Amino acid sequence: MASAEWAEDPHDEWMRVLDELERFLGSVGDGMDATPWTAPVRLGPLPPALVGRAHKVLAGQRELVRELEAAQQETGRHLAAVRAVSAARSAETSVYVDVMS
């Protein structure tokens, strides 16, 4: 891509993009917007002054991926336990499992 196709001020554009990504990471679990993120097409190379901030955003995204994978595995275990309970049971059989005792 030729430099003429890049944003006029890559630093300001990158700041906007990093702000957006940080807001997304901060909103996880707070009813975050499900709209897919689309990378800007004319962003240009990352300015050296923003490399540290971009690394922090990347670290946050990686941590979020780890948390989501752990939640997915836990949900899978719970679902397997629910599926293991026989659907054909008498009305006298307890529906709940005491996990506190």
pLDDT at 96 over 90: no
Per-residue confidence (pLDDT) for residue 88, from 0 to 100: 57
In tens, the pLDDT along 27-54 reads 776 665 667 778 888 888 899 999 999 9
Q: For residues 23 and 59, is the Cβ–Cβ distance under 8 A?
A: no
State the average pLDDT for the chain.
82
Q: Distance between CA 50 and CA 12 in Å, rounded? A: 10
Within 1-101, where are the H helices? 10-27, 51-84
Which position has the higher pLDDT, 17 or 98? 17
pLDDT at 91 over 80: no
| CB-count burial class (<10 Å; 0-12, 13-18, 19+) for 13 | middle
Q: Distance between CA 19 and CA 14 in Å, rounded? A: 8
pLDDT at 14 over 90: yes
